[in-house]
Amino acid sequence: MLLTKLTGIARSEGDPRVEYKGPSSLTDADRLARALGWFSVGLGVVELVAAGRIARALGLEDKEGLIRAFGARELASAVPTLSVDKAPGLAARIGGDVLDLLTLSTALHRHNPQRSNAALATALVLGVTLLDLAAYAGVKAAHQRGSGSRRDYSGRTGLPRGAQASRGLARKDFKIPPDYRAEGTVAAALPASAPS
């Protein structure tokens, strides 16, 4: 609705108005993948900018550089996740989730004063991992091409009464305009000299 209104503002005089737009071709999995892609952008920026604060909050003070690298990884995986072919980006996100969980597991020891924060972060990463897995499976299923399951179009026809019954129908029902019935070549039908 908002995009329809914006196109109305930007249109030139004489352009047709967009009254409404049709249904989206995006599946629920595509929408989830897009949301996860934008989440990656936000998380990546936060990990790059505030790596020290995140490390202190989780009791991982010696891993600031790793958290910054994770931020760069989040941004890198966001690009394909926001593109048309979302599956590679979602697969990268799942791999990143595994790395995040492995890193957070080092902060879950009982001598870490920030252990409760690390446990909460682990639970959140597990939840996001489940969303990543659901989006990946949904995107792969919705956009599956050529992997063993072929679509069957044998029952479809553009000629409902068959090819033989359709032969000559256009000729029979179509009235040919007189100027299309010119005899001879096209060159003979043109004026001898073009007007100056």
Residue that has been written with the tokens 């026809």 in this structure: 157
Q: Return the exposure string of 73-103: e unless at least 16 CB atoms fall within 10 Å of the residue's CB, then b.
A: bbbebbebbbeeebbebbbbbbebbeebeeb
What's 138's DSSP letter?
H
Domain of residue 82, residue span: 27-142
Tell me: the pLDDT tens digits for 2-15?
Answer: 655 666 666 677 77
> Do the domain assignments include residue 128?
yes
Angle at CA 173, nearest 5°, toward 168 and 175? 115
What is the number of residues in the chain?
Answer: 196
Are the beta carbons of 77 and 96 closer than 8 angstroms?
A: yes
Distances (CA, A) of 109 to 59, 78, 106, 117, 123: 10, 31, 7, 12, 15
Q: Is residue 176 domain-resident? A: no
Q: What is the pLDDT of residues 121-152, one digit of tens each?
A: 999 999 999 999 999 999 988 877 555 556 66
Please tell me the total count of domains within the chain: 1
In a domain? residue 114: yes
What tens digit of pLDDT does each residue of 51-90 get? 999 999 999 999 999 999 999 999 999 999 999 889 999 9
What confidence tier does 163 reach under pLDDT thresholds 50, 70, 90?
confident
Residue 135 to residues 35, 55, 65, 170, Cα–Cα distance (Å)? 10, 29, 29, 49
